[in-house]
A and B are shown apart, each in its own frame.
Chain A
Amino acid sequence: MPFKIKSLFVVTTLVFLIIIIPLFYLPEITTVKGHAIPDSYTLEPNSLHEKSESFPSSISILFSERPEPKISHIHVTNSEGERMDNNDFKITGENDRRGTVTVDKNRIRDGIYSISWSTLSLDDGHVAKGTYVVGVGVGSSLPAGTVPKTVTDNNIVYSPAMAIVKIPIVVGEVYVLGFVFSQLFIWKDIPKQELRNIIHSLLRRRFTNSIIVISIVMAIAATLIPVFQSTTISETQSDYFKNLVLLYFETTNGIAWLIRIISCFIIAFAAYYYGRAVTNESNGFIYARSRNKGTILLFILLTGASIFIGTNSFTSHSSSIASWSQLGNIADFAHSIVVSIWIGGLMYILYVLLPNVITISNNISGKMQQIIAQPKSILILILSRFSVVSTICVGVVGITGLFLAWLHIQNMDELLLSDYGRTLIVKLSLILPVVILGGYHQFWISRKLKVLDFERVNNVNDSSNTNSIQRFSSLKTSLKIECILALGVLCVASFLTVTNPPTASQNNEIVQLNPNDDMSSAVQDELVRTLETQGIHISLVISPFVTGFNNFTVNILGNTESIGQFSNSSIEFRKSDLSLGPIFANLAKNNETSYSVNGGYLSQPGVWDIKVTVKRPNSYDLNYRTSFTVNKSGESMHDQHHVDSPEVVDDDNRNQTSSLTPLVIGLSIVVTILSTYFCINALKRLRTIQQNLGLNSHQE
C-alpha cells in the first residue's frame, strides 16, 4: 500500500506546522517594499533653487530595493534635453539602496531640470523608471508653460508583452514537472517491473517528444525576457545592445537566465536519453540496465524542472519583501512545485495516459489478472492514485497561496482596488471551477468503482475495449475543460508575476486616517481611499501622497449600468485650519468611470478636507467628503530612515495587517481540514480499488 493514512496525517501536520503556525508568531509586517522605486531624494521633486550655486553637486536617490548599478541610472537634463550629470551613477551605501550621480555645476543655469531615473532591481529583477522636475532661479514658482503636466512620475513598468513571454515559462515548468512526477510515481506499485517497463515504453513517444519541445520553448521565452527588459530601460539603440549584453552576462538577471538555459538543456537531453533508454529493444521489453538508467534520467528531469522553478520563485515578488522574504520565497517555490504536480499531472492523464490506455490494456492482457487488464480498471486505478495526490496538492496550494496573498495584500482595499488584487481575483475565479471539477471527478471515480465492484463480484467480463472507452468520453470532456481552465489559471499567474503587488508600490508610511471611513488606506507615496454615498462607492487616489504636485484620480466603482452615466467630476480642497481654500479642481474624464487631474493643490502639510463631487445627468450629484493628513516630501525622507526598523510600527498598519491575519489563518485551517477529509476518502477508495483488483505491492 503506497499511501498510508497515518503517513498522510504526518505529512499534513508537518505542512501545517511549517506554513501556518509561523503566521501566529510573525511580528507584524512593518515594511513591505517592491520594485526599486525612490523612497527619498536629496533633491526634492518640485524644489526650487534661487541661484545655480545652491544646486547640489551630486544628486542621490534612496531606492526601495538595490538597483543594479550597471543598468540603473540617474540622468539630469536641462530643458533642451542636454545631460548635466557626469554619467557616473554609482551605489553609495544604505544597504546598496542609494544611487548617486554627480552634476557638472558649471553648466547649471537658470531653468528647469528633469531628473530621470531607471532601475533594474537586484532583488526581484523588475524594472522601474520615473522622472521629476526641479527649478533653478525661477523665483517662487516655476515659469508658466515650462512645468510638465505630470511633474512627478514614478512608473512601475508593467509590460503585458513580458507577461505573454512568461506564459510559456509558467506553463512549461508545470508541464515538465507534472509529467515527470506522474511518470515516476503514478505507476509505482503496478505489479511486476516488466509490466511497468511496457507501460513506460508505450507512453515514451508522447512523454519525451512533448518535454523536449516544451523545454526548447521555455529556453526561447527565458531568452526573450532580457530582450524586452532592455527595450524598456534603453533610451537609444546603442544603449539597447549595451544593456542587452549587460543583462545577459553581467547582472543577476543574466545569472538567472543562464541557470534557466542550462536547466532547459538538461531537461531536453535527459528527456531525449530517457526516450532512448526505454525504447523497446526486443519484443517490447527493455533491459534491466536501461530501466535503471531510465529512472535516473527521470530524477535528473525532476531536478532540472525544480531548478527552473526555483529561478522563478527566488526572483518573485516575495524577494522584494523586507521581512520574511525567505519564507515568502520558500512558500512561492512550494506553491509552484505543488501546482506543477497537480496541473501537470492532470495534463499527463489527458495527453499521455488517455490516448494510450487501450494500447496499454492490450499489451498487458494475459500478463495480469483479467480485471486489471481492462482499460477502465487501469484508468480508475490511476485516477484514484492521482486523486490522492491532487487532494494533498490542493491543500498545499491553498495554504501557500493564502500565505502569499497575505504577504502581498494587507487589506481588502488592496484586493479590490489594486491591479494585483484584481488579477488575483481573476485567478481565484478560474481556480474555483477547476477545484469543483476535481470534486466531480472524485465522485465519478466512486461511482465507477461501484460498477467495477459489481462486475468483479458477478464475474461480468466486459471485454470490449472500445465500448469501455466510450463510457469515458464524458470524463475526457470534463478533464479537457479542467485542463483548459487550469491553463487559464497559469496564464493569469503569468500576468501576476509582472504586476506590482500593492504593498510593493507603497512605502508603508501610514498617515492619519479618518476613522469614519469604512474602508481606507493611505501610504506615503499614494493614498487610496474608498468613499461611499447614496450606495455608490468611489476610490480616490492621490499620487504621490506628499505636498507638491499630485495626480488626483477618482474611480467610480461598481456596475455603471446600474449606477447610471456620469457627466463630470470636481474636487474641492480646504485646509482644516481654514488657512487655505477652498481650492477647486475640475477633473478630466479618462473614461466612463475614471476622472483625474494633476496639480499642486496640496501645497502645505497638514490636515486637508476634501469634497469630491461627481455629477450625473438626471440623477442627484454624488458628494463625498473625507479628510487626511499630508506630509511634506522631506518628512517622507525622514520617515524612510525608519523603514527597516521593526520598532516603529505604525498602529494603523498593525491594525490593518492583523485584520487579515485571522482570516488567512481561518481559511488555511478550512483548506487543511477539507483537503485532509477528501484525501482520506481518496485513500480509502484507492485501498478498496487495489484490493478489488488484487493488487498489492508484494506481488513482484
Chain B
Amino acid sequence: MVDIKIGEYVELIIDKIAYNCEPVFDGITAGVEWIVTGLQGILNFPHPIIITVLFTLLAYWLLARPYGAFTKQGWKAGRGIVIFIFVGMFLIGGMGFWEETMQTLALVIASALISLVIGIPTGIVASRSDRFEQMVRPVLDLMQTMPAFVYLIPAILFFSVGNVPGVVATVVFALPPGVRLTDLGIREVQEDVIEAARAFGCTDRQLLFKVQIPLAMTTIMAGVNQVIMLSLSMVVIASMVGAAGLGERVYTGILQADIGLGFEAGLGIVIIAIFLDRITQALGVKKSTTS
C-alpha cells in the first residue's frame, strides 16, 4: 500500500504558520475580539425592553417598507414579526438567557460582517474573471464540505480559545454562499442591459456600481441571508472552543445530559434564527412599484 501522509504535512504546515505568523494572528485576534466585545457591549448595555423595541421597529420597517410603512398593506406584512419578536424576546428573558442571547447575536453579527466584507468583493472579482472563479470554486467547496469541527483545531492553534477562534471558524464556514451568490447574481445580469450601458460609454466602475450590483442585489441579499443563517448554525460548534453565548449553554446541556437546559438554549437559538432570517429576507425584497 502507498502511504500518503497528508495529515502529517498539514500539521507541519499549520505548525509553521502558527509559529511564523504569530504577529499576524495576534493582530487578527485583537481586531475580532474588539468587534465582538464591542457588539456585546452595545447589545447588553441598554435595558432588554429597549433592545426589544428597537429590534421590533427595525424588523417592522424592513418588512413593511416595500408596501410603505404606514399603509394597511405594510401593517399586514409587518405585524407578524412584531408579535413574534415581542413573544420571543419575552421568552428569552423569562428563561434567563438574555445575556447569552445578546452574546450569540454579537458573535453572529461579527462573523456575518466579516464574511460579507471578504465574501462580496471576492464574489465581484470572481464574476469578472472566469479564471479567478475557477480557482476559487474548489476552495469554497472545501470550506463548505469539510466538517466544521475540523476548522476548530487550527483555529485554536492560531487564535487560542475564546470568541475569536469561534468567529474565525464561523467565517470559514459561512463565507462561501456570500461569494457564490454575489458571483452568480452579477453573472446573471441581462447581457442587453450591460450592452446598453457600454454603448452609452460607461466605465467598468460605473457598470459595476450603477448596473451590475443594483440588478444583482436580490441574489446578493439571498447570499447575505445564507451567510447569517450559516453563522448562526455554527454557534454551538464554536462554543466548543470557548465562544460565549447560547451555544455554550447548549454545549453545557450536552455535557451534563441536561435536557431542559439544552432545549431552552436551543429554543433561544431558534428564535434568533427566525428573527434574523425574516429581516434579512426582507432586505432582498424590491420596493413595490405598484403603490
Whether both chains belong to one complex is answered with no
- Listed in ascending order, the chain B residues whose CB lies under 8 Å from chain A are none
Interface set of A (CB-CB < 8 Å, partner B): none
